[in-house]
Amino acid sequence: MSEADKDKTEEPTPFRLEEARKRGEVAKSIDVPGTLIMIVAAAIIGLTGAGVAYQLANATRRMIAVSGEVSTIDGALFDWMSNVYAPVWQALTPLVLGLLVTAVVGHLLQTGPIFTTHPLKPDFKRMNPMQTIKRIFSMRTLWELGKMAAKFILLGAICAIFVWKGAALAEAVAMTLPRRIGSLMLSAFIKASVYVLMVLALLAFIDLLFARREFMKKMRMSRRELKDEIKRRDGDPTVKSKQKQQIRELLKKTRALGRVREADVVLTNPTHVAVALRYRPGETLAPVVLAKGAGLLSSRIRRLAARHRVPIVRVPALARALYSECEIDGMVPADRYAELAPVYRELWAAQRETGA
């Protein structure tokens, strides 16, 4: 085990496994779909073999019957042969469709639906001779050699048993009526298939467990990788802090809407920005910003002001300046007094006239 592998002591997180899945990296065994294909093929042959054999024998009999009458080999003969053997292809259709469906299902059962083009991208690391040597002497290679040896021994033993019993089978075929030879051969095929497929299924299951174990081992993470992933998933602390600050400011602006009714005046842009001000001589040195907002908040401030009969004054430049320069509950800066004074003079004059 290399030093890099020793550092990877943490189990892979779901996020890391999902990223690997997007790259097409999943735990799978090539023996599983292969074994499923052989099981389905044996089952379909056992069910439809008699029909295929009948159609093949019938087509061959028709071919032999006209073989002496054909003088030339031309396109008409090939068309006739296609028609003769068409029932054979139809009888083989369940087998072909079954194998195609099983090949797809065999992969889906292991990995689920995956669509990615990442494996098609060139990877120059694979051209590194050291990586090639490492793959050759990897645990996976040793496992494949051991698996092949196990298949050879187990299937060889099954083959030896059937060869040993072959004489008895040949004698049974010789002593059986012709119409029963088919059922006798089918019985021998089923028995041989059961033993062979049991061995292949057992080895495929063990190979799947090994593939998953090796994949999870490959996906292990070091503590540093785990911290980097958390930082990547949750975002940079600086960005998070800025987002929280923006949320706090938005909440503060939203809560300030309830104070619009206390304002003396609302300055607008007229539609994009709104700033609500209140000035109490003797209490504050300058007008205070009770609420401010842009976009939807601006529209909400204007509606509240209209509802509570707070004057709305259109001063685009001053409204934009106060919106950007002043915080909520902050006072208007001194350099804006000259622009704001005419607004309050008109406001107070209107109030005096109303009071008169």
Answering whether pTM is above 0.85, one says: no
Q: Is 301 exposed, middle or buried (0-12, 13-18, 19+ CB in 10 A)?
A: buried
Output the pLDDT for position 72.
59
Band of the pLDDT at 89, cuts 50, 70, 90? confident
Is the pLDDT at 207 greater than 70? The verdict is yes
Mean pLDDT, range 58-73, rounded to an integer:
71
Span 218-224, average pLDDT: 83
Confidence of residue 26 (pLDDT cuts 50, 70, 90): confident
Higher pLDDT, 81 or 305: 305
Strand order in the sheet with 312-314: 288-294, 273-278, 265-268, 312-314
Dist CA 26 CA 116 (whole Å): 12
CB atoms near residue 146 (< 10 Å): 11
pLDDT band at 30 (very low <50, low <70, confident <90, very high): confident
Q: At residue 93, does pLDDT exceed 70?
A: yes
Provide the pLDDT for residue 136. Answer: 65
**The pLDDT value given to residue 16:** 80
Examine the pLDDT at 235 and tell me if it is beyond 80. Answer: no
- Gap between the Cα atoms of 199 and 206, Å rounded: 11
What is the H or E stretch that residue 293 is in? strand 288-294
User: Is the pLDDT at 162 greater than 70, yes or no?
Assistant: yes
- Say what the pLDDT of residue 68 is: 62
Query: What phi, psi does 104 have (nearest 5°)?
Result: -70, -45
Res 1: pLDDT: 46
Question: Which residue's entry shows tokens 């195609």?
Answer: 100
pLDDT of 3 above 60: no
For the chain, domain boundaries:
3-232, 242-355
pLDDT: is 38 or 163 the higher one?
Answer: 38
Question: What confidence tier does 112 reach under pLDDT thresholds 50, 70, 90?
Answer: confident
Cα(270)–Cα(319) distance, integer angstroms: 8
Kindly tell me if the per-residue pLDDT of 128 is higher than 70: no
pLDDT winner (highest mean) among 1-15, 47-61, 73-87, 128-142: 47-61
List, for residues 240-251, the tens digit of each pLDDT value: 777 777 777 777
CA–CA distance, 60 with 16 (Å, rounded to integer): 59
> Poorest-confidence range of 13-22, 99-108, 229-238?
229-238
Question: Residue 57 carries which side chain, given as an amino acid letter?
Answer: A
Q: What is the per-residue pLDDT for 130?
A: 66
The whole-number average pLDDT for the span 115-137 is 63
What pLDDT is attached to residue 70?
Answer: 57
Local confidence band at 356 (pLDDT 50, 70, 90 cut-offs): very low
Mean pLDDT of the chain: 80
Least confident piece of the model among 151-165, 197-211, 261-275? 151-165
The tokens of 227 are what? 């911290």
The pLDDT value recorded for residue 239 is 65
DSSP 67: T
Higher pLDDT, 303 or 121: 303
Q: What is the rounded average pLDDT of the residues 102-110?
A: 83
Per CATH, the homologous superfamily of domain 242-355 is secretion proteins EscU (3.40.1690.10)
Q: Is-contact 292 322, C-beta < 8 A? A: yes
